Amino acid sequence: MNETAPSYSKRISPRNRRGFTLLELILVCAIIVIVMGVVSASMTGFLARSQLRRSASRLASMAVFARTHAITAGRQVEMRVDKYAGEVALFEQSDDPDQEFSSLGARWRYSLPQNVSISAFEIGGEETEQGSIIFFPEGGAEEAYLVLSLCDSQGRIMTAAEQKQIWVNKITGRLKVE
């Protein structure tokens, strides 16, 4: 048995070399950069839509609390909406004859995020910039319609598809959010 020892002096042909060429590495890096750009752009839209949903949910919970508080306390509760400032606050009917309504506190104040605006606000079918939705002790409320929209940094509404609509039923005081 005459076996020859393996020869390590053989040159490895370019086809048999292991590793990556510089061109392959640059190509992979370019693909990664493109994928990261697409993912980050879609994440920005996702985060904005999430803020819109969260804002609609917060306003709905404030309205539900206002209705419930009006029924349990036996007093009118007012949900004040300022369309341009993007603020909503709850007030209850006051015992003090000098003031009609008093604040329910900072917990029941909400400022919309910068990229969410109130694009429409109606009370009793009338478009308004500022107004109050009154919730009555009997369970009813003033009929109201509110639209929250995503907007750009200048406050312009982005698309009609990126909206949440909130209706307050006049008879029952209950909400519908779409």
* Domain spans in the chain, listed from the N-terminal domain onward: 22-177
Question: What pLDDT shows up at residue 46?
Answer: 79
> What CATH class is the domain 22-177?
alpha beta
Determine what percent of the chain is predicted with pLDDT higher than 90: 49
Rounded to a whole number, what is the distance in angstroms from the first to the last CA of the chain? 86
Question: What pLDDT shows up at residue 9?
Answer: 58
Instruction: Quote the CA–CA distance of 156 and 28 in Å, as a whole number.
Output: 39
Q: What is the pTM of this model?
A: 0.73
Predicted confidence (pLDDT) at residue 122 exceeds the cutoff of 80: yes
CA angle 50, 124, 72 (to 5 degrees): 75
* Structure confidence by residue, pLDDT tens digits, 144-161: 999 999 887 776 777 766
The alpha-helical segments, DSSP class H, found in the chain are 22-73
